Amino acid sequence: MATLVLFFLLLFTVGMAEPAVATNPSATSFIKASCKATRYPALCVHCLSSYATTIQQSERQLAQAALSVSLARARSATMFVSKMTKVSGIKSREHLAVKDCIDNMGDTVDQLSRSIKELGHMGRIGGQDFTWHMSNVQTWVSAALTDENTCVDGFAGRGMDGNVKAAIKNRVLNGVFMWVSACWFVCKSSC
């Protein structure tokens, strides 16, 4: 049992480090001010500060960086969930929930990837092209959040209160905190 818990903790911490980059003080202030309006401001600042030199004071770059961080976390969560199918002693119901979760997380990765590409195709704010691209991004980020919720919901109910559920829920929800911030920045930059 202790080995299983240690295994989950190790898997949970792998891939969570963010790149360290020298930052611009005014860009960092912009990130902090922008993150104050999000649901998880401390996590938002932590995840985006390393992108300050790229973001500068651009709402579009801020949204792009938030989506990129979200995508990286979604990929990490997908790999983590995939490894859970190999855990010995997993119940058959948990195994099925894990397989469904892998599908949902794969969809999340696809939606976030499409959002990042679409954000890069956007024209000037106010143009028809901009509105159409932004609508696509908002739809896909929302779909990514729905896919994640579906993954976590698959572990609800009796017989699903073990370590597998806890480990997957923690990893997936860790990414959600950034997706929510990304969604906020995408919506804000479209106004």
* 24-189 maps to CATH 1.20.140.40: yes
Q: Does position 3 have pLDDT exceeding 90, yes or no?
A: no
Q: Give 83's contacts (C-beta < 8 A, 6+ positions apart).
A: 11
Q: Give 186's contacts (C-beta < 8 A, 6+ positions apart).
A: 63, 66, 67, 115, 119, 134, 137, 138, 141
**Residue boundaries of the structural domains of the chain:** 24-189
Q: Give 56's contacts (C-beta < 8 A, 6+ positions apart).
A: 24, 27, 30
pLDDT, residue 35, reads 87
Going by the DSSP 8-state scheme, the letter that residue 51 receives in this structure is G
Give the mean pLDDT of the chain.
78
Q: What is the pTM of this model?
A: 0.79
The helix (run of H) or strand (run of E) holding residue 2 is helix 2-13
